[in-house]
Amino acid sequence: QHLPPPGRGTSRHIQQPDGYYSHRPKEKSRVDSNNENSVPKDFENIDNSNFGARSQPHRQSVGATSSKQQREHLQEKAHAQQQAWRDNSPGLGRSSNEVLPVGHQPLAVGNNASYAGGQGVAAGVSRQQYRASQAQQAQSQHRHQHPHRKQATAAPLEVTYDQPPKCEISGKEAISALSRAKSKECRKQIAEVYCRHKEGQLMPEKVTRYCPLEGKANVNVQWDEDSAESFPFKPVRIAFVLVVHGRASRQFQRLFKAIYHTSHYYYIHVDQRSNYLYRQVQALAAQYPNVRVTPWRMATIWGGASLLTMYLRSMADLLAMRDWSWDFFINLSAADYPIRTNNQLVAFLSKYRDMNFIKSHGRDNARFIRKQGLDRLFYECDTHMWRLGDRKIPEGISVDGGSDWFLLNRMFVEYVINSKDDLVTNMKRFYAYTLLPAESFFHTVLENSAHCESMVDNNLRITNWNRKLGCKCQYKHIVDWCGCSPNDFKPADFHRFQQTVRPTFFARKFEASVNQEIVNQLDTYLFGPFPQGTPALSSYWENTYDEPDGVASLSDTQLTYYHSFSRLGLARATASLQGNPKDHSCRYFSPGHRCQCTSTSSQQTSSRATWSSIMPVLATSKLETIGLGAFRRTKLYPHQHIQQVAVE
């Protein structure tokens, strides 16, 4: 029922020692080649522990040790970790049932490691044990030489259980998670997951592979931009799944306008915490028969299992919509933008309608597993991804991964959602407790399923990765791991959209608050120049408060600013009125409540805050909505830089 179409044999592939690759020559590596994912490239040199406070941003320790010595120290520890990896069992990680008891925790061999794990490299003393004994001797000698100095010791983590756990929780990472989790329910869930894992009830040990190939398949796809505008006889129809959050509704509307076509479908998920944007999206969707908003909402976090859950639920919804007949699933965020026209995209996908476009990380699977933390157990609750210990990769399959932005055909989506076979069932089970699951789940299922020959190692996107700009260890406040995001495109990057050696139709990231001009350039390139006199092309708009959000959504600082601006605006309006000073027909008094506030800025003008308020007229007490505006030269210390406050 879910088998791929016939005729996709291995004759098109060249068998290599590590897999199958297309006849296409290897393209030159570029910063936009999208070969990297959301984990820092130099992850071995980064402190990835989860024992610090989550409220503080990650910083490398700075002390008597120089930065060069620090790097050498981290590299040495990373090398030790790699050696321990080779010395351990071939299962790529600790057994899923193995949890160390209290008092028997060996030293970690790397900042990414929880425990050294496994046996030593010889029957005698292991490298880790030798280094540990050397460290103990050095500490003992130091105490002997400096008996009066106080020794720094880490305070033990204290965990108070709301109810006794079902097992002894001895893993230091699980204890750390329990000590930091805020809610009782989250602590209860963490304890339950840990105990189930300890008892061997959580992870699959072996999974069935259905792919007939012995290695990885990669289909060679050809694309001629000059002939791409020719429309196919039976064009494909696309289901766009837009995953959005925040308050920048104007940028979302620009993206929607750029990708909209009456032949396609648009299913939009708005983050559970973005109520203003949700109302804006609902109002937009009501105007189009082929646009719908998910009736459910989730608080998806970076790296969380909730993102994969959201995608799978969206796919199930789309398959259940009998009036929507679509051929491809494409996921986009508000930071994406098209770099080719709809006709070009449809023509290309119609030619390769049986393919699945997904970007893989490369060939070093062992490094990818370590970097992604696939050999670690994670659990999401309290909008945080907690690291709980080690686990073993299931036997029988090849783990793959890369970018979490993909284009999947309907046949494969039906297989992922409806199949009850061993592969799909166990992969859903495994990735429910995985960091960054959307960067690996679809890759692994596709590569090990009967659909493996439909895999194209290209997600048809350009991503602006530039690790030299400081991408080191973001998101540690929401996940017990290090990660990073792509950089924002700017006007100087426009040539990159035209000089790619592979088919590309979308790019990311575009941040309207950073630069609007690059989006204007793309709009002009794709759809022609804007009409003369088009207003606010270079302006950035973002709502900061909307009345349905409630005053409780504002901070004390915001409330103070808004009240002050309202009073200043009304005072200036009163002073500017001409005529009888006793005429109160155009004078208002503030009841202390606003309807809406919007921040705007552009390259040509100063920053500006505008808000509309319902205020009673002083003479009649009749309520009227008026607009107020405050102009600033900078965003720092607004009370020192207000140039003008006036009624609009």
Contact partners, residue 428, CB within 8 Å, separation at least 6? 312, 441
Is pLDDT at 125 greater than 50 in this prediction?
A: no
Locate 252 and state its tokens. 């979302």
SS3 state of residue 297 = coil
Cα distances from 491 to residues 496, 515, 521, 534, 629, in angstroms, run: 10, 8, 8, 20, 30
Residue scoring higher pLDDT (434 or 54):
434
Is pLDDT at 58 greater than 80 in this prediction?
A: no
- Among 92-106, 179-193, 433-447, 459-473, which is the least confidently predicted range? 92-106
Summarize the confidence of residues 266-275 as an average pLDDT: 98
Locate 238 and state its tokens. 């696309």
Residue 120 pLDDT: 34
- Prediction pTM value: 0.76
Nearest to 458 by CA among 378, 357, 375: 357
CA 297 to chain centre: 17
DSSP string of 57-114, one letter each residue:
PP----SSS-HHHHHHHHHHHHHHHHHHHHHS-TTSSS-TT--PPTT--PPPSSTT-S
Residue scoring higher pLDDT (583 or 457):
457
Summarize the confidence of residues 381-386 as an average pLDDT: 97
- Among 132-136, 257-261, 350-354, 607-611, which is the least confidently predicted range? 132-136
Residue 547 pLDDT: 85
Is pLDDT at 128 greater than 50 in this prediction?
A: no
Summarize the confidence of residues 15-44 as an average pLDDT: 43
Residue 215 pLDDT: 77
Residue scoring higher pLDDT (605 or 584):
584
> Which one-letter DSSP state was computed for residue 395?
B
- Among 352-356, 417-421, 482-486, which is the least confidently predicted range? 482-486
Residue 21 pLDDT: 34
Residue 383 pLDDT: 95
What mean pLDDT, rounded, does the chain reach? 77
Residue 162 pLDDT: 73
Q: How far apart are CA 128 and CA 113, in angstroms?
A: 13
- Among 50-64, 231-245, 431-445, which is the least confidently predicted range? 50-64
Is pLDDT at 441 greater than 70 in this prediction?
A: yes
Is pLDDT at 13 greater than 50 in this prediction?
A: no
Residue scoring higher pLDDT (204 or 550):
204
Residue 231 pLDDT: 66
Is pLDDT at 171 greater than 80 in this prediction?
A: yes
Residue 123 pLDDT: 37
Locate 284 and state its tokens. 């937009």
Is pLDDT at 404 greater than 80 in this prediction?
A: yes
10-36+210-464: CATH architecture: Alpha-Beta Complex (3.90)
Count of helix runs (H) and strand runs (E) in the chain: 15, 19
Nearest to 347 by CA among 224, 506, 261, 507: 224
Extract the runs of DSSP E, i.e. beta strands, from 169-327: 238-244, 265-270, 291-293
Summarize the confidence of residues 539-546 as an average pLDDT: 85
Q: How far apart are CA 306 and CA 298, in angstroms?
A: 7
Is pLDDT at 497 greater than 50 in this prediction?
A: yes
Q: Which residues pair with 522 in a beta bridge?
A: none
Residue 113 pLDDT: 36
Is pLDDT at 106 greater than 60 in this prediction?
A: no
Q: How confident is the model at residue 322 (pLDDT cuts 50, 70, 90)?
A: very high
Q: How far apart are CA 99 and CA 171, in angstroms?
A: 7
Residue 148 pLDDT: 56
Summarize the confidence of residues 111-116 as an average pLDDT: 35
Residue 16 pLDDT: 37
Summarize the confidence of residues 40-65 as an average pLDDT: 49
Summarize the confidence of residues 484-493 as an average pLDDT: 90
Q: How confident is the model at residue 242 (pLDDT cuts 50, 70, 90)?
A: very high
Can you give the residue ranges of every domain in the chain? 10-36+210-464, 541-647
SS3 state of residue 236 = coil
pLDDT digits 0-9 by tens, 442-451: 999 999 999 9
Is pLDDT at 124 greater than 50 in this prediction?
A: no
Is pLDDT at 50 greater than 90 in this prediction?
A: no
Is pLDDT at 519 greater than 50 in this prediction?
A: yes
Is pLDDT at 199 greater than 80 in this prediction?
A: yes
Residues 505 and 345 sit within 8 Å (Cβ to Cβ): yes
Place of tokens 């292991």: 126
Is pLDDT at 157 greater than 80 in this prediction?
A: no
- Among 14-28, 176-190, 262-276, 298-312, which is the least confidently predicted range? 14-28
Summarize the confidence of residues 347-355 as an average pLDDT: 96
